[in-house]
Amino acid sequence: MTASVSRSLLPLAGGITGVLVFGLAYACGAPPFGKERGEIKAAAVCGTLGSSSGSADALREVLPDKSTYVFDDAITDARTDDMDFSYETSCFVDGDGKQLVVATVEMLQYDNADDWRKDVVEELVPASSVKPFVAADMAVASREIAALYVPCVRRGLGRHLSVVVQLKEPGKGDDEELRQGLITLAQNTALFAHQRAKCDAPSKVTQ
């Protein structure tokens, strides 16, 4: 009698195992449940991110897998001449309806670069999370953000471009891979802005 009951339970156990495997595959996004990653085409990347091919490669490194990516680009305040002291751009990258990256540039002026870092960078991430890298008058980055304080206008108060690229939802890379990808995006963005804003002070940014 006992053996008969055990044999009758075998199909049930097999069914439970099948359900568990099915559920695990679904949760992990394994085939056939996983979404194919959408293509990030250089031509579709925000123009304000600078080098389209370089920025597209960097985005592929830092972005999480999504089936579609949408880019929203705008130069909201273009600097028209040498007497104009305003410049502002934004680029938003969405994936499957979620905001993934925000990249902004704004012409600002602080008494020193430390004030810029405290006012701009530390409003977004803790000071302890970022490490400096060599670029502009100040540059810091982490796995979540890369920001540069870029010289722009020589005369007067010496206005700068505040360049910030923030990753809202990270991809699968390790911390250093994400940090380097964001640095590339921020540097490309800074070089584009420096030229587009008609800056006459050396940017101190290289690719």
pLDDT tens string, the chain, 207 residues long: the values are 444 444 444 444 444 444 343 344 434 444 444 568 899 999 999 999 998 889 999 999 999 999 999 999 999 998 877 777 899 999 999 999 999 999 999 999 999 999 999 999 999 999 999 999 999 999 999 999 999 999 999 887 789 999 999 999 999 899 999 999 999 999 999 999 999 999 999 999 987
26 and 123 in a common domain = no
Residue count (the chain) = 207
- Is the CB of residue 161 less than 8 Å from the CB of residue 106? yes
Q: What count of Cα atoms within 13 Å lies in the side-chain half-sphere of residue 29? A: 7
Instruction: Give the domain range for residue 74.
Output: 42-196
61 and 30 in a common domain = no
Specify if 204 maps to a domain: no
Return the residue matching tokens 């680009």.
Answer: 73
**How many domains does the chain divide into?**
2
Specify if 82 maps to a domain: yes
